[in-house]
Structure 1
Amino acid sequence: MILMKDIIREDNSLLRERSEEVALPLSSEDRQLAEELLEYVKNSQDDGLAEKYDLRPGVGIAAPQVGKLKRLFALHLEKEDGQLLSLVAVNPKIVSHSVELAYLSTGEGCLSVDRSVPGYVPRYARITARFTDLNGDEQRMRLKGFPAIAFQHELDHLNGVLFYDRINHDDPFGDIPNGSPIDLGSGE
Protein backbone atom coordinates (compact mmCIF):
# COMPACT_ATOMS: atom_id res chain seq x y z
CA MET A 1 0.00 0.00 0.00
CA ILE A 2 1.35 3.42 -0.98
CA LEU A 3 1.50 5.92 1.88
CA MET A 4 2.45 9.60 1.93
CA LYS A 5 6.01 8.67 2.96
CA ASP A 6 6.34 6.80 -0.37
CA ILE A 7 5.45 9.86 -2.47
CA ILE A 8 8.49 11.89 -3.47
CA ARG A 9 8.37 15.64 -3.16
CA GLU A 10 9.03 18.45 -5.61
CA ASP A 11 12.70 18.85 -4.65
CA ASN A 12 13.46 15.31 -5.87
CA SER A 13 15.13 15.47 -9.31
CA LEU A 14 13.30 12.31 -10.48
CA LEU A 15 10.17 14.45 -10.89
CA ARG A 16 11.99 16.43 -13.59
CA GLU A 17 12.93 13.43 -15.72
CA ARG A 18 11.05 11.97 -18.67
CA SER A 19 9.61 8.54 -17.96
CA GLU A 20 10.25 5.49 -20.13
CA GLU A 21 7.62 3.64 -22.15
CA VAL A 22 6.26 0.58 -20.34
CA ALA A 23 6.75 -2.80 -22.03
CA LEU A 24 3.54 -4.62 -22.92
CA PRO A 25 2.08 -6.91 -21.83
CA LEU A 26 2.62 -5.56 -18.32
CA SER A 27 5.15 -7.38 -16.19
CA SER A 28 3.89 -8.52 -12.80
CA GLU A 29 5.98 -5.71 -11.23
CA ASP A 30 4.44 -3.02 -13.48
CA ARG A 31 0.95 -4.41 -12.96
CA GLN A 32 1.42 -4.31 -9.18
CA LEU A 33 2.67 -0.71 -9.38
CA ALA A 34 -0.35 0.29 -11.47
CA GLU A 35 -2.77 -1.41 -9.06
CA GLU A 36 -1.11 0.27 -6.06
CA LEU A 37 -1.35 3.71 -7.71
CA LEU A 38 -5.07 3.21 -8.32
CA GLU A 39 -5.53 1.88 -4.79
CA TYR A 40 -3.88 5.03 -3.39
CA VAL A 41 -6.27 7.47 -5.09
CA LYS A 42 -9.29 5.36 -4.14
CA ASN A 43 -8.15 5.06 -0.50
CA SER A 44 -7.26 8.76 -0.32
CA GLN A 45 -10.86 9.66 -1.19
CA ASP A 46 -12.28 7.38 1.52
CA ASP A 47 -12.51 9.60 4.61
CA GLY A 48 -12.00 6.72 7.03
CA LEU A 49 -8.97 5.25 5.25
CA ALA A 50 -7.48 8.68 4.56
CA GLU A 51 -7.64 9.53 8.25
CA LYS A 52 -6.42 6.10 9.41
CA TYR A 53 -3.36 6.13 7.13
CA ASP A 54 -2.85 9.92 7.00
CA LEU A 55 -3.37 10.09 3.22
CA ARG A 56 -3.71 13.39 1.37
CA PRO A 57 -6.70 13.18 -0.95
CA GLY A 58 -5.95 13.06 -4.63
CA VAL A 59 -7.69 12.19 -7.89
CA GLY A 60 -4.55 11.06 -9.70
CA ILE A 61 -1.05 9.81 -9.11
CA ALA A 62 1.73 9.01 -11.57
CA ALA A 63 4.52 6.43 -11.30
CA PRO A 64 7.28 9.08 -11.08
CA GLN A 65 5.67 10.33 -7.87
CA VAL A 66 6.67 7.07 -6.20
CA GLY A 67 10.13 7.11 -7.76
CA LYS A 68 9.41 4.93 -10.81
CA LEU A 69 10.21 6.52 -14.18
CA LYS A 70 7.53 4.59 -16.06
CA ARG A 71 4.83 6.02 -18.33
CA LEU A 72 1.80 5.09 -16.29
CA PHE A 73 -0.65 6.80 -13.96
CA ALA A 74 -3.96 6.24 -12.20
CA LEU A 75 -7.05 8.46 -12.09
CA HIS A 76 -10.13 8.09 -9.89
CA LEU A 77 -12.68 10.90 -10.10
CA GLU A 78 -16.23 11.78 -10.92
CA LYS A 79 -17.03 13.09 -14.40
CA GLU A 80 -19.40 16.00 -15.03
CA ASP A 81 -22.27 13.57 -15.68
CA GLY A 82 -21.76 11.97 -12.27
CA GLN A 83 -20.19 8.79 -13.66
CA LEU A 84 -17.03 7.48 -12.08
CA LEU A 85 -13.83 7.60 -14.12
CA SER A 86 -11.43 5.11 -12.58
CA LEU A 87 -8.51 3.96 -14.70
CA VAL A 88 -4.88 3.14 -15.11
CA ALA A 89 -3.30 4.69 -18.21
CA VAL A 90 -0.21 2.94 -19.56
CA ASN A 91 1.85 4.77 -22.20
CA PRO A 92 -0.81 7.51 -22.50
CA LYS A 93 -0.87 10.02 -25.33
CA ILE A 94 -3.09 12.93 -26.27
CA VAL A 95 -4.01 12.33 -29.91
CA SER A 96 -6.10 15.48 -30.36
CA HIS A 97 -7.22 18.46 -28.32
CA SER A 98 -9.42 21.52 -28.44
CA VAL A 99 -8.20 24.99 -29.23
CA GLU A 100 -10.18 26.19 -26.20
CA LEU A 101 -8.45 26.13 -22.84
CA ALA A 102 -9.77 25.51 -19.35
CA TYR A 103 -8.39 26.00 -15.88
CA LEU A 104 -9.46 25.27 -12.32
CA SER A 105 -10.75 28.46 -10.70
CA THR A 106 -9.02 27.40 -7.45
CA GLY A 107 -5.74 26.44 -9.13
CA GLU A 108 -4.20 22.98 -9.03
CA GLY A 109 -2.52 21.00 -6.29
CA CYS A 110 -0.26 17.97 -6.29
CA LEU A 111 0.57 15.15 -3.89
CA SER A 112 4.26 15.89 -4.49
CA VAL A 113 3.93 19.59 -3.66
CA ASP A 114 3.41 20.28 0.05
CA ARG A 115 2.57 23.94 -0.40
CA SER A 116 -0.05 26.06 -2.04
CA VAL A 117 1.06 27.51 -5.38
CA PRO A 118 -1.47 30.16 -6.40
CA GLY A 119 -2.33 30.72 -10.03
CA TYR A 120 -4.28 29.43 -12.99
CA VAL A 121 -2.91 26.43 -14.86
CA PRO A 122 -4.08 26.57 -18.50
CA ARG A 123 -4.96 23.18 -20.00
CA TYR A 124 -6.85 21.99 -23.08
CA ALA A 125 -10.59 22.06 -22.38
CA ARG A 126 -11.15 18.80 -24.32
CA ILE A 127 -8.79 16.00 -25.25
CA THR A 128 -8.88 12.67 -26.98
CA ALA A 129 -6.48 10.32 -25.25
CA ARG A 130 -5.09 6.94 -26.20
CA PHE A 131 -3.59 4.52 -23.68
CA THR A 132 -3.39 0.87 -22.69
CA ASP A 133 -5.46 -0.13 -19.68
CA LEU A 134 -4.64 -2.52 -16.84
CA ASN A 135 -5.98 -5.47 -18.86
CA GLY A 136 -3.70 -4.70 -21.81
CA ASP A 137 -6.53 -3.33 -23.96
CA GLU A 138 -6.00 -0.25 -26.12
CA GLN A 139 -8.36 2.55 -25.07
CA ARG A 140 -9.36 5.76 -26.82
CA MET A 141 -11.25 8.21 -24.66
CA ARG A 142 -12.66 11.72 -25.00
CA LEU A 143 -12.43 13.82 -21.87
CA LYS A 144 -13.54 17.35 -21.08
CA GLY A 145 -13.49 19.68 -18.12
CA PHE A 146 -12.02 18.44 -14.85
CA PRO A 147 -11.24 14.88 -16.09
CA ALA A 148 -9.33 16.36 -19.06
CA ILE A 149 -7.38 18.63 -16.70
CA ALA A 150 -6.55 15.73 -14.34
CA PHE A 151 -5.39 13.56 -17.28
CA GLN A 152 -3.11 16.35 -18.52
CA HIS A 153 -1.73 16.97 -15.01
CA GLU A 154 -0.72 13.29 -14.66
CA LEU A 155 0.63 13.15 -18.21
CA ASP A 156 2.83 16.13 -17.37
CA HIS A 157 4.39 14.08 -14.56
CA LEU A 158 5.52 11.52 -17.15
CA ASN A 159 7.31 14.31 -19.00
CA GLY A 160 9.02 15.84 -15.96
CA VAL A 161 6.65 18.82 -15.78
CA LEU A 162 4.98 20.08 -12.58
CA PHE A 163 1.71 22.00 -12.66
CA TYR A 164 3.25 25.27 -11.49
CA ASP A 165 5.57 25.31 -14.51
CA ARG A 166 2.45 26.27 -16.51
CA ILE A 167 1.43 29.21 -14.28
CA ASN A 168 2.14 32.70 -15.60
CA HIS A 169 4.47 33.80 -12.81
CA ASP A 170 4.23 37.48 -13.80
CA ASP A 171 0.42 37.40 -13.47
CA PRO A 172 -0.70 34.12 -11.80
CA PHE A 173 -4.41 34.98 -11.92
CA GLY A 174 -4.29 36.85 -15.23
CA ASP A 175 -6.75 36.33 -18.02
CA ILE A 176 -6.28 33.06 -19.94
CA PRO A 177 -6.97 33.89 -23.59
CA ASN A 178 -9.53 31.47 -25.02
CA GLY A 179 -9.86 29.93 -21.55
CA SER A 180 -12.82 29.14 -19.30
CA PRO A 181 -12.74 28.54 -15.55
CA ILE A 182 -13.93 25.28 -14.06
CA ASP A 183 -15.32 25.52 -10.54
CA LEU A 184 -15.09 22.31 -8.57
CA GLY A 185 -17.33 23.64 -5.84
CA SER A 186 -16.54 22.43 -2.36
CA GLY A 187 -14.04 19.69 -3.07
CA GLU A 188 -11.90 17.67 -5.45
Structure 2
Amino acid sequence: MITMEDIVREGHPALRKIAKEMSHPITPDERTLAEDMMAFLKNSQDPELSEELGLRAGVGLAAPQLDISKRMIALLIPGEYEDDPPELELVMINPKVVSHSVADACLKDGEGCLSVDREIPGFVVRHSRITVTYQDLDGNSFKKRFKGYAAIVIQHEIDHLNGIMFYDYINNQEPFELSDDVKVIG
Protein backbone atom coordinates (compact mmCIF):
# COMPACT_ATOMS: atom_id res chain seq x y z
CA MET A 1 0.00 0.00 0.00
CA ILE A 2 1.30 3.43 -0.98
CA THR A 3 1.42 5.99 1.85
CA MET A 4 2.67 9.58 2.07
CA GLU A 5 6.08 8.20 3.08
CA ASP A 6 6.40 6.64 -0.39
CA ILE A 7 5.88 9.96 -2.19
CA VAL A 8 9.08 11.89 -2.87
CA ARG A 9 9.06 15.59 -2.03
CA GLU A 10 10.25 18.66 -3.90
CA GLY A 11 14.01 18.75 -4.18
CA HIS A 12 14.19 15.01 -4.91
CA PRO A 13 15.97 14.47 -8.26
CA ALA A 14 13.25 12.08 -9.56
CA LEU A 15 10.87 15.05 -9.83
CA ARG A 16 13.12 16.83 -12.34
CA LYS A 17 13.91 13.90 -14.64
CA ILE A 18 12.12 12.88 -17.82
CA ALA A 19 10.48 9.50 -17.15
CA LYS A 20 11.13 6.53 -19.43
CA GLU A 21 8.60 5.31 -22.02
CA MET A 22 6.86 2.06 -21.13
CA SER A 23 6.46 -0.89 -23.47
CA HIS A 24 3.65 -3.41 -23.78
CA PRO A 25 2.82 -5.86 -22.53
CA ILE A 26 3.43 -4.31 -19.14
CA THR A 27 4.96 -6.47 -16.42
CA PRO A 28 3.01 -7.84 -13.44
CA ASP A 29 4.96 -5.37 -11.24
CA GLU A 30 3.88 -2.46 -13.46
CA ARG A 31 0.23 -3.59 -13.27
CA THR A 32 0.53 -3.80 -9.47
CA LEU A 33 2.04 -0.31 -9.42
CA ALA A 34 -0.94 1.02 -11.40
CA GLU A 35 -3.38 -0.66 -9.01
CA ASP A 36 -1.49 0.65 -5.97
CA MET A 37 -1.47 4.21 -7.38
CA MET A 38 -5.24 4.10 -7.92
CA ALA A 39 -5.77 2.57 -4.46
CA PHE A 40 -3.77 5.45 -2.94
CA LEU A 41 -6.00 8.02 -4.67
CA LYS A 42 -9.17 6.23 -3.50
CA ASN A 43 -7.85 5.95 0.07
CA SER A 44 -6.74 9.60 0.05
CA GLN A 45 -10.26 10.74 -0.89
CA ASP A 46 -11.96 8.65 1.81
CA PRO A 47 -12.26 10.94 4.88
CA GLU A 48 -11.92 8.13 7.46
CA LEU A 49 -9.16 6.18 5.71
CA SER A 50 -7.15 9.29 4.85
CA GLU A 51 -7.19 10.41 8.47
CA GLU A 52 -6.35 6.92 9.75
CA LEU A 53 -3.48 6.50 7.26
CA GLY A 54 -2.30 10.13 7.36
CA LEU A 55 -2.92 10.73 3.64
CA ARG A 56 -3.36 14.05 1.86
CA ALA A 57 -6.19 13.99 -0.65
CA GLY A 58 -5.09 13.70 -4.26
CA VAL A 59 -6.77 13.48 -7.66
CA GLY A 60 -3.69 12.40 -9.59
CA LEU A 61 -0.41 10.61 -9.04
CA ALA A 62 2.53 10.07 -11.39
CA ALA A 63 5.08 7.24 -11.11
CA PRO A 64 8.03 9.70 -10.77
CA GLN A 65 6.43 10.91 -7.53
CA LEU A 66 7.21 7.42 -6.21
CA ASP A 67 10.80 7.63 -7.52
CA ILE A 68 9.87 5.33 -10.42
CA SER A 69 10.97 6.52 -13.85
CA LYS A 70 7.99 5.28 -15.87
CA ARG A 71 5.50 7.24 -17.97
CA MET A 72 2.42 6.21 -15.96
CA ILE A 73 -0.18 8.38 -14.27
CA ALA A 74 -3.28 7.55 -12.23
CA LEU A 75 -6.27 9.89 -12.17
CA LEU A 76 -9.29 9.88 -9.87
CA ILE A 77 -11.47 12.95 -10.16
CA PRO A 78 -14.57 12.71 -7.95
CA GLY A 79 -18.05 13.32 -9.32
CA GLU A 80 -19.81 16.58 -8.63
CA TYR A 81 -21.80 15.20 -5.69
CA GLU A 82 -20.77 12.77 -2.98
CA ASP A 83 -22.65 9.74 -4.35
CA ASP A 84 -21.83 10.43 -8.02
CA PRO A 85 -19.46 8.08 -9.82
CA PRO A 86 -16.01 9.57 -10.45
CA GLU A 87 -15.79 12.09 -13.28
CA LEU A 88 -12.57 10.34 -14.30
CA GLU A 89 -10.98 7.12 -13.03
CA LEU A 90 -8.13 6.12 -15.28
CA VAL A 91 -4.54 4.93 -15.49
CA MET A 92 -2.68 6.27 -18.52
CA ILE A 93 0.50 4.71 -19.91
CA ASN A 94 2.74 6.98 -22.03
CA PRO A 95 0.23 9.87 -22.07
CA LYS A 96 0.99 12.72 -24.45
CA VAL A 97 -0.83 15.96 -25.22
CA VAL A 98 -1.09 15.96 -29.02
CA SER A 99 -3.19 19.11 -29.41
CA HIS A 100 -4.68 21.83 -27.25
CA SER A 101 -6.97 24.83 -27.31
CA VAL A 102 -5.75 28.38 -27.74
CA ALA A 103 -7.92 29.21 -24.73
CA ASP A 104 -6.28 28.95 -21.31
CA ALA A 105 -7.64 28.25 -17.85
CA CYS A 106 -6.47 28.08 -14.26
CA LEU A 107 -7.83 27.03 -10.89
CA LYS A 108 -9.18 29.84 -8.71
CA ASP A 109 -7.33 28.51 -5.65
CA GLY A 110 -4.12 27.62 -7.49
CA GLU A 111 -2.68 24.12 -7.61
CA GLY A 112 -1.24 21.82 -5.01
CA CYS A 113 0.82 18.67 -5.25
CA LEU A 114 1.35 15.60 -3.09
CA SER A 115 5.11 16.13 -3.56
CA VAL A 116 4.98 19.73 -2.27
CA ASP A 117 4.42 20.21 1.45
CA ARG A 118 3.93 23.97 1.32
CA GLU A 119 1.32 26.25 -0.16
CA ILE A 120 2.57 28.13 -3.19
CA PRO A 121 0.27 31.03 -4.03
CA GLY A 122 -0.36 32.00 -7.62
CA PHE A 123 -2.21 31.06 -10.76
CA VAL A 124 -0.99 28.14 -12.88
CA VAL A 125 -2.19 28.88 -16.41
CA ARG A 126 -2.77 25.80 -18.56
CA HIS A 127 -4.65 24.89 -21.74
CA SER A 128 -8.41 24.71 -21.12
CA ARG A 129 -8.91 21.81 -23.58
CA ILE A 130 -6.45 19.10 -24.58
CA THR A 131 -6.35 15.97 -26.72
CA VAL A 132 -4.29 13.17 -25.22
CA THR A 133 -2.99 9.90 -26.65
CA TYR A 134 -2.23 7.08 -24.23
CA GLN A 135 -2.44 3.33 -23.68
CA ASP A 136 -4.36 1.48 -21.02
CA LEU A 137 -2.91 -1.36 -18.94
CA ASP A 138 -3.75 -3.87 -21.66
CA GLY A 139 -1.93 -1.95 -24.38
CA ASN A 140 -5.03 -0.53 -26.09
CA SER A 141 -4.39 2.91 -27.61
CA PHE A 142 -6.71 5.85 -27.08
CA LYS A 143 -7.02 9.43 -28.24
CA LYS A 144 -9.40 11.45 -26.06
CA ARG A 145 -10.35 15.05 -25.43
CA PHE A 146 -10.53 16.56 -21.97
CA LYS A 147 -11.59 20.01 -20.81
CA GLY A 148 -11.75 22.15 -17.70
CA TYR A 149 -10.66 20.64 -14.40
CA ALA A 150 -9.85 17.20 -15.87
CA ALA A 151 -7.60 18.82 -18.52
CA ILE A 152 -5.75 20.76 -15.81
CA VAL A 153 -5.21 17.65 -13.65
CA ILE A 154 -3.95 15.63 -16.63
CA GLN A 155 -1.52 18.39 -17.65
CA HIS A 156 -0.23 18.57 -14.05
CA GLU A 157 0.44 14.80 -14.00
CA ILE A 158 2.00 14.69 -17.49
CA ASP A 159 4.29 17.51 -16.35
CA HIS A 160 5.58 15.15 -13.63
CA LEU A 161 6.63 12.75 -16.41
CA ASN A 162 8.65 15.57 -17.95
CA GLY A 163 10.36 16.87 -14.82
CA ILE A 164 8.15 19.97 -14.55
CA MET A 165 6.57 21.18 -11.31
CA PHE A 166 3.35 23.23 -11.22
CA TYR A 167 5.05 26.24 -9.65
CA ASP A 168 7.36 26.53 -12.66
CA TYR A 169 4.37 28.22 -14.37
CA ILE A 170 3.69 30.82 -11.66
CA ASN A 171 4.77 34.36 -12.46
CA ASN A 172 7.19 35.16 -9.62
CA GLN A 173 6.76 38.93 -9.92
CA GLU A 174 2.95 38.90 -10.21
CA PRO A 175 1.65 35.48 -9.06
CA PHE A 176 -2.02 36.49 -9.37
CA GLU A 177 -1.77 38.42 -12.63
CA LEU A 178 -3.87 36.99 -15.48
CA SER A 179 -4.65 38.11 -18.99
CA ASP A 180 -8.34 38.79 -19.62
CA ASP A 181 -8.82 35.70 -21.77
CA VAL A 182 -7.85 33.14 -19.08
CA LYS A 183 -10.88 31.29 -17.69
CA VAL A 184 -10.77 30.86 -13.90
CA ILE A 185 -12.26 27.53 -12.76
CA GLY A 186 -13.70 26.77 -9.33
TM-score, normalising length from structure 2?
0.94
1:55-93 deviation per Cα after TM superposition (whole angstroms, max 9, x unaligned): 100000000000001100100003679652100010001
Q: CA deviation at 1:172?
A: 0.3
Q: Which amino acid aligns with 1:11?
A: G
Alignment of 1:163-174 (within 5 A): 163-174=166-177
Kept in 2, the 8 Å contact 1:122–1:176? The answer is no
> Structure 1 CA distance, aligned partners of 2:71 and 2:140?
16
**2:143 aligned with 1:140:** yes
Alignment of 1:2-151 (within 5 A): 2-78=2-78, 84=86, 85-151=88-154
Aligned to 1:155: 158
Q: Match of 2:23, SS?
A: coil
Q: Match of 1:175, SS?
A: coil
The runs of 5 or more residues in structure 1 that have no matched partner are 184-188
> Structure 1 CA distance, aligned partners of 2:85 and 2:132?
18
Q: Which amino acid aligns with 1:152?
A: Q
Q: Match of 2:118, SS?
A: coil
- Size of the aligned set, in residue pairs, is 183
Q: Match of 2:137, SS?
A: coil
> Structure 1 CA distance, aligned partners of 2:2 and 2:70?
16
Kept in 2, the 8 Å contact 1:121–1:166? The answer is yes
> Structure 1 CA distance, aligned partners of 2:180 and 2:150?
21
> Structure 2 CA distance, aligned partners of 1:113 and 1:174?
22
Q: Could you tell me the percent identity over the aligned residues?
A: 49
Q: Which amino acid aligns with 1:70?
A: K
Q: Match of 2:65, SS?
A: helix
Q: Which amino acid aligns with 1:4?
A: M
RMSD of aligned C-alpha atoms? 1.4
Distance 1:45 1:80, change over 3 A: closer
Aligned to 1:175: 178
1:115-165 deviation per Cα after TM superposition (whole angstroms, max 9, x unaligned): 000000010000111111123221221110000000000000000000000
TM-score, normalising length from structure 1?
0.93
Comparing 123-132 with 173-182, greater Cα deviation is found at 173-182
Q: Match of 1:70, SS?
A: coil
Q: CA deviation at 1:29?
A: 1.3
Aligned to 1:186: none
> Structure 2 CA distance, aligned partners of 1:80 and 1:155?
24
> Structure 1 CA distance, aligned partners of 2:24 and 2:181?
38
Kept in 2, the 8 Å contact 1:98–1:125? The answer is yes
Q: Which amino acid aligns with 1:167?
A: I
